[in-house]
């Protein structure tokens, strides 16, 4: 019997899996919208594009407020950076 070989997940598949599992439900509504936008950006462009807070100066994030306001939704800069690391982990877990 041949072993089952699963095709590698695409970035879109990984992003959708994270969305489905609702790992980040503890965040505010605005933060969850930012998370969805980050996952969409990851699916389109890759992980390195979402690993820094500078991504928050781009579309579609500017409609949620300034980078400082968005970071505050995550509990401050330290917690935002922790969130970004966890997001990367969840995408590749």
- How many beta carbons lie within 10 A of that of residue 41, not counting itself? 20
Q: 19 is written with which tokens? A: 């969305």
Best CA proximity match to 61, nearest among 2, 74, 88: 74
Does a structural domain hold residue 61? yes
Does a structural domain hold residue 4? no
Q: How many domains does the chain have?
A: 1
Does a structural domain hold residue 74? yes
pLDDT tens string 17-31: 999 998 888 999 999
Q: Rounded to whole angstroms, how far apart are CA atoms 67 and 12? A: 25
User: Which residues, in sequence order, are CB contacts of 31 under 8 Å at separation 6+?
Assistant: 24, 70, 73, 74
pLDDT tens string 46-67: 888 888 888 999 999 999 999 9
Phi first, then psi: what are they for 29, rounded to 5°?
A: -60, -45
Does a structural domain hold residue 86? yes
Does a structural domain hold residue 23? yes
> What domain range includes position 18?
11-92
């Amino acid at each position: 019997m041949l072993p089952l070989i699963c095709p590698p997940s695409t970035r879109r598949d990984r992003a959708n899996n994270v969305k489905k599992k609702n790992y980040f439900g503890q965040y505010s509504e605005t933060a969850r919208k930012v998370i969805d936008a980050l996952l969409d950006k990851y699916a389109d462009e890759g992980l390195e594009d979402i690993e820094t807070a500078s991504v928050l100066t781009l579309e579609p994030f500017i409609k949620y407020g300034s980078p400082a306001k968005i970071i505050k939704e995550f509990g401050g800069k330290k917690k935002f950076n922790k969130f970004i690391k966890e997001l990367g982990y969840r995408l590749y877990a």
